[in-house]
Amino acid sequence: MNTHERVVEVTDIVRSHARRSELEISSIPEVAALATELTTLFNGLEVPQQQYAVRVMLDKSTVSRFLNGRRVASQDFIDRLFSELERHRRTKITEETRAQIRGLRLAALRETDQASFQLENLRDELDKSHRAIRMLERQQEALELLLDQREAAAENAEREIHELRGVWISERRENETTAIELTKRNEKLKSDSERLQDEISELKEQLAQVTHLKTGAEDRCSRLEERLLEAERRLAEQLDQAGEQAFNLSPQEAFEEIRTSETHRRYYDAARTLSLSAAHFSVSDLAELWDLLLAYGRPTEPTSLISDAIRFRSAEFCAHITEDLLTRKLSFDQRKMIGTLLGTYKAPEELDYLYSRWKTGGPPYGVLRYTFREWATLAPPRQVGMRLTQLAQDSDTTISVGILYSYGTRDVSDIFLLSDWLLGTSMAEEFQTLFLRWFPTILEAKTKETEKKWMKLSAESRYGDILRGAFEGHFPRMRA
């Protein structure tokens, strides 16, 4: 790229960050479309904007700007609105609605803030890729389990055929009727064995296809992660060229910069300072900025600060900042928020570190409970089973029950896979807890469909009698 092209590019970046007036923003069709849908959702709460602002601890003017389209609503605002609606309606917001609002917000960002749009879009694609991988992992585990069961059944059939041949030879001369019956039984066993071998071949083919799809999804996920990192790096370089200085602020200076940016409605600058603080501050500096932001009376900023820190920093740093913050009088919601963020963003090996550090008790253990509850909502069944095995070895029933209760809201296939694992590892009490948690969540309209699927899966399990009995024992009570 020559000098002229770089100058043009930097100029474009500067222009892209130029602040439009609220009137200009509200006239953009994509922003107006988002505001209209959010207002429709908000009206379902049946509360005035001022009352809602008090509830979520935001300025009334901020709520008004988001709903009137004078500003593009933040994702935190949208997530909180969804939570309040679910609480008010006593029903979940549909995935279709969430996807629609997500699409409208991306469209609005595309027209108002290209840099944020590109990063949000890449993150959205990355989330979809991670979800696809988790789904394929569950399919892979289910196929592997079914393949193991079929191969065991085939081995049993072959063994029985050999045993039957021995009996048939010894009794062939003694009793012609017995010989005929043994011949028929032998033919049936051969037929069953051939059928099982056909099923095994088909399952192996399906498993190979799923494994191939999973590998492709993982490759795509890696490419998206590289693109996201490259986009973040490139944007950082471009901002440097546009005049951004290295981040070397003190907590007080960062706080003043955030407050000044918000006063002048430069919300992108405020969010950027928060993210840079989360990525670069030491534990003590980050905790000091947390205190300053809380004293300022804007609870969304401390939440964003700790959220970015947990996403960007190591498990060790996250442990230290959590322990530091717990020396303050954190509210129940704040402790739960930290635990939920850890469960959302940290990898299994990082959770191992946190568990080994905090399992002895104290305030961090309370955070750990929320961490594993959140983690259990999406973790693969086999990982959940291994985690429960570790907890059983440590006699930790508190976290185990929390995991089982969170996992118990998942679909019938996931419940069955973990149930089969638990029975196979002699964890009958954990199976009972999981089943009693899950069973009442089955919707009446889905009862027959769920029963049919459960019974079909049970037929393939070596613990089929127990699994069928559990469902049949509860089904009459639910139907009544």
Q: Using a pLDDT cut of 70, give the percent of the chain over it.
A: 85
Contacts for 396-401: CB closer than 8 Å, 24+ residues apart: 396/359, 398/369, 399/368, 399/369, 399/372, 400/430, 400/433, 401/433
Mean pLDDT of the chain: 82
Q: Is the pLDDT at 423 greater than 60, yes or no? A: yes
Pick from 135, 102, 134: nearest CA to 121: 102
Q: Is the pLDDT at 42 greater than 90, yes or no? A: yes
Contacts for 259-264: CB closer than 8 Å, 24+ residues apart: 259/296, 262/298
* CA 458/CA 467 separation, integer angstroms: 6
Pick from 269, 257, 342: nearest CA to 306: 342
- Which residue would you say has higher pLDDT here, 19 or 400? 400
- Count of CA atoms in the C-beta half-sphere (13 A) of 344: 14
* CA 357/CA 319 separation, integer angstroms: 8
CA 251 from centre of chain? 32
Segment of 7-21, 217-231, 428-442 carrying the highest mean pLDDT: 428-442
Q: Can you state the angle between helices 3-16 and 114-171, rounded to 10 degrees? A: 90
Task: Name the E strands within 181-232.
Answer: none
CA 85 from centre of chain? 21
SS3 72: coil
Q: pLDDT (tens digit, 9 = 90+) per residue, 63-122?
A: 888 998 888 888 888 988 998 898 888 888 998 999 899 889 988 888 887 777 777 777
8 Å CB contact between 308 and 274: yes
Which DSSP helix (H) or strand (E) runs through 408? none
Region 357-379: mean pLDDT is 93
8 Å CB contact between 161 and 190: yes
Q: What is the pLDDT of residue 215?
A: 82
8 Å CB contact between 112 and 22: no
- Count of CA atoms in the C-beta half-sphere (13 A) of 175: 10
H helices of 346-396, in order, are: 348-358, 363-376, 381-393
Q: Token pair 């479309």 is at which residue?
A: 33
Q: What is the pLDDT of residue 161?
A: 67
Q: List Cβ neighbours of 349 (8 Å cut-off, separation of 6 or more).
A: none
Q: What is the pLDDT of residue 213?
A: 82
Q: Which amino acid is at 183?
A: T
Q: pLDDT (tens digit, 9 = 90+) per residue, 277-323?
A: 998 899 999 999 999 999 887 778 899 999 999 988 899 999 999 99
CA 200 from centre of chain? 33
pTM exceeds 0.95, yes or no = no
Q: Token pair 């918000």 is at which residue?
A: 262
- Which residue would you say has higher pLDDT here, 297 or 163? 297
